[in-house]
């Protein structure tokens, strides 16, 4: 131990003290006497929790969850790994396994590592399961499979006969095995997967490509994919679009690797909001940037150390001037007041109101957030903003444009590892889909 420029070996320390039941940040003065008779004090700062978060029993001790959603009937849906296992909760307390996607799509022979990356509810209350899996042979990638499988969320008992495969991505070393007309392609015209979705009008959904742009999809139309936006033939800033949210006017705000892109549904025009206005960027390096961002996404999906990928890269030398982590958008949500919240990979939270960025509401660890790597965002019935990170959860309460932040971690009962998704139920509870299971904040 190093203290006041001196090194001490502390052995056999013993002691205890009593605390009141008051929770929050606390401190205690620890008095130490050395073998040489020297006395000094250390101020020990710690936090006392009343365990506001509890574990939800899923019947599985190994399941990892990356997606959750609430349908129009208040039912909670959770998507896990292990072949794409789906769980359902009618009351917010009991969670039951419903189906395993790999068993429901036997002709697809989904890999064992297939997992649900997102769950989206369309206007008809159909539950869209966005899935992704991969196969390796001798550590060599042989196959990537992804898609959208949907069912009617209003039906009481769901079984495999209710599942429809709507979008089929299946790329192998032997060639393309997926559907004709699949829209997402990269700069080299290779088909690439999508991993997220956003509900849209008339039963359609927006599919968000990992490196192929965005597409509005509806299986009830003759042209299932329309419109399709790529940076090569539209004003979409980047083909890498990890998230999107809708404002109160129905406009779609896409979170990209180069900032926030607003799509005006009436005019069809795009607007780009970068953290640094009039940012300079070398377009010739955009492919390199998207490759870098997708490598970060692979770290995220693989539960790897995110900080290592977001570390000491020199953005100016690698990609051009003025590129900042505040433009690496990964998550988003719209609150009950119409504000738009965007989570970044390393730059904290950006907030928009009335079509303009609220720099005064930009939040980072310096403002109390538990981490600057924002993996998920949700809004509860009281308009509190819940932030999921690789370190735990932050709850943000907005009061007169001022944000009060409260953090939760393993000390409060939350499991270890990243918080991939968050969903608030109709009873005031907030559920967290995490690497180590499902957890619930009750507020009690």
Q: What is the pLDDT of residue 1?
A: 46
Is 16 in the same domain as 113?
no
Say whether pLDDT at 219 is over 60: yes
Is 158 inside a domain boundary? yes
- Summarize pLDDT for 372-414 with one digit per residue, the tens: 999 999 999 999 999 999 999 999 999 877 899 999 999 999 9
Rounded Cα–Cα distance for residues 102 and 96 (Å) = 17
Model pTM? 0.87
In angstroms, the Cα distances linking 296 to 291, 299, 311, 339 are 9, 5, 11, 28
Is 114 in the same domain as 13?
no
The phi-psi region of residue 90 (left if phi > 0; otherwise alpha if psi is between -120 and 50; otherwise beta) is alpha
Is 231 inside a domain boundary? no
Q: What is the pLDDT of residue 384?
A: 97
Q: What is the pLDDT of residue 20?
A: 52
Of 179, 205, 234, which marks where a domain is finished? Answer: 179
Is 7 in the same domain as 72?
no
Element spanning 298, H or E: helix 286-301
Q: Which domain holds residue 62?
A: 54-179
Of 154, 179, 204, which marks where a domain is finished? Answer: 179
**Average confidence (pLDDT) over 280-286:** 73
Is 202 inside a domain boundary? no
Is 24 in the same domain as 114?
no
Is 124 in the same domain as 142?
yes
Is 63 in the same domain as 174?
yes
Is 71 in the same domain as 156?
yes
Is 165 inside a domain boundary? yes
- Summarize pLDDT for 90-149 with one digit per residue, the tens: 987 889 999 999 999 999 999 999 999 999 999 999 999 999 999 999 999 999 999 999
Is 286 inside a domain boundary? no
Is 296 inside a domain boundary? no
Judge whether 146 and 132 are in contact, CB under 8 Å. Answer: yes
Count other Cβ atoms within 10 Å, centred on residue 308.
Answer: 10
Rounded Cα–Cα distance for residues 37 and 34 (Å) = 5
Nearest to 144 by CA among 330, 298, 331: 298
Count other Cβ atoms within 10 Å, centred on residue 232.
Answer: 10
Nearest to 420 by CA among 381, 382, 380, 393: 393
Rounded Cα–Cα distance for residues 421 and 76 (Å) = 12
Is 21 in the same domain as 107?
no
Is 249 inside a domain boundary? no
Is 60 in the same domain as 168?
yes
Counted residue by residue, the chain has a size of: 444
Is 94 in the same domain as 29?
no
Say whether pLDDT at 185 is over 70: yes
Of 116, 149, 179, which marks where a domain is finished? Answer: 179
Is 29 in the same domain as 90?
no
- Summarize pLDDT for 136-165 with one digit per residue, the tens: 999 999 999 999 999 999 988 999 999 999
Is 163 inside a domain boundary? yes
Is 8 in the same domain as 89?
no
**Average confidence (pLDDT) over 36-51:** 62
Structurally, the chain folds into a number of domains equal to 2
């Amino acid at each position: 131990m190093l203290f006041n420029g001196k090194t001490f070996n502390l052995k056999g320390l013993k002691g205890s003290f009593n605390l009141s039941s008051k929770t929050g940040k606390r401190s205690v003065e620890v008095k130490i006497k050395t073998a040489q008779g020297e006395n000094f004090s250390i101020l020990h700062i710690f936090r006392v929790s009343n365990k506001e978060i509890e574990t939800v029993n899923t019947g599985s001790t190994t399941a990892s969850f990356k997606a959750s959603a609430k349908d129009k009937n208040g039912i909670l849906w959770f998507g896990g790994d292990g072949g794409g296992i789906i769980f359902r909760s009618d009351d917010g307390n009991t969670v039951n396994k419903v189906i395993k996607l790999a068993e429901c799509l036997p002709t697809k022979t989904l890999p064992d590592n297939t997992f649900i990356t997102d769950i989206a509810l369309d206007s008809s209350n159909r539950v869209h399961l966005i899935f992704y899996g991969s196969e390796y042979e001798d550590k060599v990638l042989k196959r990537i499979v992804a898609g959208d499988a949907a069912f009617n969320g209003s039906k009481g008992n769901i079984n495999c006969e209710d599942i429809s495969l709507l979008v089929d991505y299946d790329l192998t070393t032997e060639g393309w095995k997926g559907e004709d007309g699949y829209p997402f392609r990269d700069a080299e015209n290779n088909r690439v997967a999508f991993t997220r979705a956003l509900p849209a009008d008339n039963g359609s959904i927006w599919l968000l490509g990992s490196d192929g742009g965005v597409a509005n999809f509806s299986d009830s139309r003759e042209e299932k994919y329309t419109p399709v936006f790529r940076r090569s033939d539209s004003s979409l800033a980047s083909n890498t679009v990890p998230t999107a949210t809708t404002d109160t006017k129905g406009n779609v705000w896409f979170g990209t690797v180069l900032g926030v892109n607003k799509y005006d549904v009436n005019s069809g025009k795009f607007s780009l909001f970068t953290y640094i206005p009039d940012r300079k960027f070398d377009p010739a390096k955009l492919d390199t940037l998207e490759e870098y961002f997708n490598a970060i996404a692979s770290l995220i999906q693989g539960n790897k150390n995110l900080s290592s990928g977001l570390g000491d890269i020199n953005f100016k030398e690698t990609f051009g001037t003025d590129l900042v982590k505040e433009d690496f958008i990964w998550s988003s949500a719209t609150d009950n007041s119409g504000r738009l919240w965007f989570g970044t990979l390393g730059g904290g939270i950006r907030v928009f109101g009335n079509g303009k960025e609220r720099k005064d509401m930009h939040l980072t660890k310096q403002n109390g957030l538990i981490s600057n790597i924002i993996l998920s965002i949700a809004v509860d019935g009281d308009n509190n903003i819940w932030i999921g990170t690789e370190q735990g959860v932050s709850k943000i309460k907005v009061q007169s444009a001022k944000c009060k932040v409260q953090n939760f971690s393993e000390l409060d009962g939350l499991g270890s590892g990243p918080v991939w998704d968050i969903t608030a139920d109709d009873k005031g509870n907030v559920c967290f889909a995490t690497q180590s299971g499902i957890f619930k904040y009750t507020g009690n």
